[in-house]
Amino acid sequence: MIRVALPAHLRTLAGVSDEVQLEVEGAVTQRAVLDALEARYPTLRGTVRDQQTQKRRPLVRFFACSEDLSHDSPDIPLPEPVAKGTEPFFIVGAMAGG
């Protein structure tokens, strides 16, 4: 099971109080994880990545295993601890403002 940690606003929107756990078929990539997340919680479509372009929204960031994965290709495998479910994939609202 893949563990995904959502920011507070998206937890509220999805109606969950903690990390979510997702089954991902095949290679565990950003795209595969986000596809599984949106399939499980359709209300999150468009909140993490643009529905038309499939690009990450500008003020959303991805982290795992203390690494910033925001600029990685959505199709490369995520770190092994994420794929094994020992570490969560963090979706984070970027700090913005002053």
Partner 1 sequence: MSGVRLLVGTRKGAFVLTADGKRQDWEVSGPHFAGWEIYHLKGSPVDPNRIYASQTSGWFGQIIQRSSDGGKTWEAVGKDFNYEGNPGTHQWYDGTQHPWEFKRVWHLEPSLSDPETAYAGVEDAALFKTTDGAQTWQELPGLRSAKGNLWQPGAGGMCLHTILLDPSNPNRIFVAISAAGAFRSDDAGKSWAPINKGLKSQFELPDPNAEVGHCVHRIAMHRSRPDVLFMQKHWDVMRSDNSGDLWTEVSDNLPSDFGFPIDVHAHEPETIYVVPIKSDSEHFPPDGKLRVYRSRTGGNQWEPLTNGLPQSDCYVNVLRDAMAVDSLDQCGIYFGTTGGQVYASADSGDTWKAIVRDLPAVLSVEAQTFP
Contact residues for partner 1 (CB under 8 A)?
Answer: 7-10, 13, 43, 45-48, 50-52, 57, 59-60, 93-94, 96
**Pick from 17, 2, 14, 9: nearest CA to 60:** 9
Minimum distance between the CB of residue 46 and partner 1, rounded to whole angstroms? Answer: 5
Which residue's CB is nearer to partner 1, number 10 or number 28? 10
Residue type, position 35, single letter: D
Question: Any residues with CB less than 8 A from the CB of 92 and at least 6 apart, and which?
Answer: 7, 60, 61, 62, 63
Minimum distance between the CB of residue 72 and partner 1, rounded to whole angstroms? Answer: 20
Torsion of CA 34, 36, 37, 41, to 10 degrees: 140
Compute the radius of gyration of the chain from its Cα atoms: 12
Which residue's CB is nearer to partner 1, number 8 or number 25? 8
Minimum distance between the CB of residue 86 and partner 1, rounded to whole angstroms? Answer: 28
Which residue's CB is nearer to partner 1, number 5 or number 60? 60
Which residue's CB is nearer to partner 1, number 30 or number 87? 30
